[in-house]
Amino acid sequence: MSSSTKLSALDMPDVPMGHLPEHLHLQRTRVVCKADAPIHTEGIQYSGAYASTGVDISMGPNKFCKNFKIEVVRLTEDEIEFDMVGIDASLANAFRRILIAEVPTMAIEKVLMVNNTSVIADEVLAHRLGLVPLNADPRLFEYLSENDTPNERNTIVYKMEVSCKKGGSRVTVKSDQLKWLPNGSELQMTTYDSSAKAKSYTSFSCSQDSLPEFSKKPLGVRFDDIILAKLGPGQVIELEAHAVKGMGKVHAKWSPVATAWYRMLPEVVLLKEVKGDDAEKLVKKCPVGVFDIEDLGNGEKKAAVANSRACTLCRECVRGVNEELVELRRVKDHFIFTIESTGAFSPEELFIKAVKILEEKCDRVISELS
Amino acid sequence: MNAPDRYERFVVPEGTKKVSYERDTKIVNAASFTVEREDHTIGNILRMQLHRDPNVLFAGYKLPHPLQYKIIVRIQTTSQSSPTQAYSQAIDDLDKELDCLKKGFEDEKTRFEEKLRQGY
């Protein structure tokens, strides 16, 4: 039997033109998390990838701006959770990396020990002091390099003097004992030239609290109750600490976030109708409550997806079953970001700073191309 | 003991250029860009943006060694474009997208704060 006209497969009435067939759309936009490993994880960027179906998936900056959406879910003083739709995984990861390692902060770098008779060794105490989050805005400070002298524009000086009386009970040294010295270092550098005037370790030309930026908010530690050391009777700690500006890349104490992470939006789909006792079992299996029972009337119960956003991919619903009832998917371009700040910046300022830093990086990478 | 100083991860030393360009002698329209003191943060984004360009035949990046802080981006284009053109176009597009992203976030932040204030 021969047909008089030749029909292309693409002209068949049931093939949708102009947009991708269902299964290809699933492959392109969803990661399917099977019981053993995820599939379709690669991001398909090339505009001609589906050229044979007549679909153009090109994405220029204008199309990006139209499809892009941000939605803030939760915003507190320390934490922000927001959704970004329409970006690629590489951009999300870049923001996470920049938030953790490249947003500058202030942290204690040099500790001048005058007297330490506690059981905590000098270097261990100095290490702990470095990790204490400070309430200073790093935008008001400059970096201190090796050849610079420490002055009021690049250093913050703190003092700690604690002692425990003989015969008294033990003293816990908490971070509120770190007192800010707005006039700079009080310790004298030893010089062998007796005629020269004694110099201190920092040369502040004016007091830091006379500067307008610092008069509103005194520079102190963010959290008062961090335990730094414990003193027994007769033990003394006397030290001076200098804080400078730095980035998380050099040492983690300069990281402005407790942590920052993202996850892709989960999508949980029931492949078959699950009724009755099986429905009850499925609802019980999920530890976070993704499924729920739907009453159909006349005593019949059916399982339905109530809250797929809570899915943590524990895979309890697909483990050990003989047939696949549930499909766990992730939407490739929808990211749920959470940023927890340690206090120097507020979390929304942190994200804006991270975007600015990424823009500066891009500019540096192109402008220095001769 | 032999590890380089941590500030070397982002400080470009005197004398070395930040970005250098090397044409591939054996393949037409192909080049390698060596970007000093950068890592996956910018490399992966650049690679993703280059893949979106219809004139780019090959785009990839690698870090030759984790203790040598540089990336090598290799681009091959059709004869209608050149690797430098594709690279500049990709960075331009990225700048525009980041502007749009920042504006979108600031708008959403003010909208959310308004909503919070009205909710009380």
What does the pLDDT look like over A314-323, one tens digit per residue? Answer: 998 888 887 8
**Distance between CA atoms of residues A300 and B97, nearest Å:** 51
Which tokens hold the place of A240? Answer: 């001076």
- Number of Cβ within 10 Å of residue B106's Cβ equals 15
Chain B within 8 Å of A46 (Cβ-Cβ)?
yes
Residues in B touching A249 (Cβ below 8 Å)? 6, 9-10
CB B58 within 8 A of CB B30: yes
A208 pLDDT above the threshold of 80: no
Mean pLDDT of chain A: 89
| A362-367 average pLDDT score | 88
Which tokens hold the place of A23? Answer: 């299964």
Residues in A touching B88 (Cβ below 8 Å)? 366, 369
**Distance between CA atoms of residues A84 and A64, nearest Å:** 12
Residues in B touching A251 (Cβ below 8 Å)? 6
Count the alpha carbons within 13 Å of A150 in the hemisphere toward its beta carbon: 18
| B90-106 average pLDDT score | 94
A193 pLDDT above the threshold of 80: no
Residues in A touching B108 (Cβ below 8 Å)? 70-72, 82
Could you give the ipTM of this predicted complex? 0.95
Residues in B touching A82 (Cβ below 8 Å)? 105, 108
Phi-psi category of A177—alpha, beta or left, where left has phi over 0 and alpha has psi -120 to 50? alpha
Distances (CA, A) of A367 to A361, A363, A364, B88: 10, 6, 5, 9
| Residues A72-84: tens digit of each pLDDT | 999 999 999 999 9
Widest Cα–Cα separation across chain B: 68
Question: What is the nearest CA distance from A67 to chain B, expressed in angstroms?
Answer: 11
Q: Is A68's CB within 8 Å of B100's CB? A: yes
pLDDT of A219: 86
Distances (CA, A) of A213 to A137, A138, A139, A248: 10, 12, 11, 25
Phi-psi category of A186—alpha, beta or left, where left has phi over 0 and alpha has psi -120 to 50? alpha
Q: Which of residues 293-312 of A touch B (CB under 8 A)?
A: none
Residue with the larger pLDDT of the pair A194 and A161: A161
| Residues A170-186: tens digit of each pLDDT | 999 999 999 999 888 88
Chain B positions contacting chain A at CB under 8 Å are 6-7, 9-10, 17-19, 21, 33, 35, 38, 40-42, 44-48, 51-52, 54, 84, 87-88, 91-102, 104-106, 108-109, 112-113, 116
Residue linked to tokens 């995984």: A89
A198 pLDDT above the threshold of 70: no
| Residues B33-73: tens digit of each pLDDT | 999 999 999 999 999 999 999 999 999 999 999 999 999 99
**Distance between CA atoms of residues B87 and A367, nearest Å:** 12
Which one-letter DSSP state was computed for residue A52? G
Residues in B touching A363 (Cβ below 8 Å)? 95
Chain B within 8 Å of A284 (Cβ-Cβ)?
no
Residues in A touching B97 (Cβ below 8 Å)? 61, 64-65, 68
Question: What is the nearest CA distance from A92 to chain B, expressed in angstroms?
Answer: 10
Which tokens hold the place of A228? Answer: 């730094």
Q: Is A348's CB within 8 Å of B46's CB? A: no
Q: Which of residues 243-272 of A touch B (CB under 8 A)?
A: 247, 249-251
Q: Which residues contact A33 (CB under 8 A, 6 or more apart)?
A: A313, A315, A328, A329, A330
**Distance between CA atoms of residues A79 and A81, nearest Å:** 7
Chain B within 8 Å of A51 (Cβ-Cβ)?
no
